[in-house]
Amino acid sequence: MYLDSLLEGLEYTCLRGDVHTLVTSLVYDSRKTVKGSVFVCITGTVTDGHDYIPQAVEKGAAAIVIEKDIDLPAGVTVVRVENARKALACMSAAYFGHPARKLKTIGITGTKGKTTTTYMVRSILENAGIKTGLIGTIETIIGDKVIPASNTTPESYIIQETFAKMVDAGLECVVMEASSQGFLQNRLDGFVFDIGVFTNIGYDHIGDKEHKDFDDYLRCKRQLFRQCRIGLVNIDDEHAGDILEGHTCQVETFGFSEKADIRAEDVQLVHRPGYLGVAYRVSGLMNFDVAIDIPGKFNVLNSLCAIAICRHFNVSDKDILKALSNIKVRGRAEIVPVNGSYSVIIDYAHNAMSLESLLTTIREYKPKRLVCVFGCGGNRSRDRRFLMGEISSRLADLTVVTSDNPRFEEPEDIINDIITGVKKGPGKYIKITDRREAIKYCIDNAQEGDVIIIAGKGHEDYQEIKGVKYHMDDRELVMDALRAGED
């Protein structure tokens, strides 16, 4: 493969050498450089690829792609671009033979709902006989192969490599979470989505290591609708119009509003000991009744969104209903079976918007008590802690403040921030720093009719402390507490 074929469609300047240079591989990690590689120097939050040019040259790189002024190395072709991350995305697409063109691609963006909706979409399409891959927060799924995820939206090279593997595996479609960070870092450049979806947006992911402000967050989300053919938008979100600013796609809407092209009507909450679900009627472009055993009105929107997507694949009502009746998403309003007259729910809600939505929804089931146990991640926005504490105190009868992933902060400092917010609300609270003990306390003191929400970690099976991930799974902690109570 020649370098100029990888650069096709990009604006660039060749500073040294010849772009019609034969290259053997495309790399963005200098350690993976082999003889004949083209090394793309991307700038990360911790390291800068430009600092590793000497190592790449020493390992035999044939070409270097840069975006900064450097002392030009001898003996290699050097190409300068405006944005190396964008270049990596476009070059990766070309390197793998533009695999997105051989798949139906679905991208879902939003502050919450992305993960649940992707699983619902995959379940429906697979049930209808459409082989579908998935890329998201929890894992990547390629046929029978499951790969744990490290980022919600992987690096562009990994995305294109994954698409290529999906094509090779005979898949027809891929549904993926399109995070704002993915757009901010150009990981999603280099191809056009067949369907782009907006679920909602809240004031989250704003800080030194994320988005500089809400406008930047909104701008990144908006990019999806300039990079897809069909856009599906939650019309109920107050920022739906902002998201569509400058859109270039055909637009359809979903939601509870009468103005929505596909809408949910006659919503009914279903509640019995150990079970919370929801039923509703789909109206508009499709018309049928739906029942799912995942609680909450937000899951009405998630499933309605999935239905709106799958309509474009001509999936039958029967296949949709069958798939949704059996849907389970790890760590997303996940009901844990308990031998008692109370309910336990594990959810990934780790920001103010998600926690408020979850607690508001579960309170509509009229539990005897709503108990919320949660912590907040370290090295993240302190404002999130105050807000989540206040929300839990306002909506839950009892807040159990505990540790999440303290990372490089002291757990007590994080907990004290949360309690500052908790004290602004009317609810009772207790501090139990050890997460295992906090969950055991909730199980040991559960009363008939209670709903216990364990929030913040969801699908995660670890606790990160001082750079080390220790095994910890909220499901296992619940089971341990139940067994201890039987002894």
Mean pLDDT of the chain: 94
Alpha-carbon gap, residue 61 to 44, rounded angstroms: 21
Whether the pLDDT of residue 209 is over 80: the answer is no
Report, as an integer, the average pLDDT of 79-101: 98
For the cut 80, the answer to whether the pLDDT of residue 397 exceeds it is yes
Length of the chain: 487
User: Residue 213: pLDDT band by 50, 70, 90 thresholds?
Assistant: low
Could you tell me the pLDDT band of residue 215, with boundaries at 50, 70 and 90?
Answer: confident
Q: What domains appear along the chain, each with residue ranges and CATH number?
A: 3-95 (3.40.1390.10), 99-325 (3.40.1190.10), 334-486 (3.90.190.20)
Q: Which residues contact 440 (CB under 8 A, 6 or more apart)?
A: 477, 480, 481, 484
Spell out a b/e string for 185-214, using b for 16 or more CB atoms within 10 Å of the CB, else e: bbbbbbbebbbbbbbbbbbbbbeeebbeee
| Strand, coil or helix: 442 | helix
Token code pair at residue 369: 């008590």
pLDDT digits (tens, 9 = 90+) for 262-301: 999 999 999 887 789 999 999 999 999 999 989 988 899 9
Confidence of residue 112 (pLDDT cuts 50, 70, 90): confident
Q: Alpha-carbon Rg of the chain, whole angstroms?
A: 24
Reduce the DSSP state of residue 158 to 3 states and report it: helix
Using pLDDT thresholds of 50, 70 and 90, give the confidence band for residue 34: very high
Backbone angles phi, psi at 17, to 5 degrees: 85, -155
Mean pLDDT of 114-138: 96
Tens digit of pLDDT for each residue in 411-453?
Answer: 999 999 999 999 999 999 999 999 999 999 999 999 999 999 9
Q: Is the pLDDT of residue 366 over 80?
A: yes
Contacts of 23 (CB under 8 A, 6+ apart): 1, 2, 3, 6, 36, 37, 38, 62, 63
pLDDT in tens, 35-67: 999 999 999 878 999 999 999 999 999 999 999
Segment 303-357, tens digit of pLDDT: 999 999 999 999 999 999 999 988 888 999 999 999 889 999 999 999 998 999 9
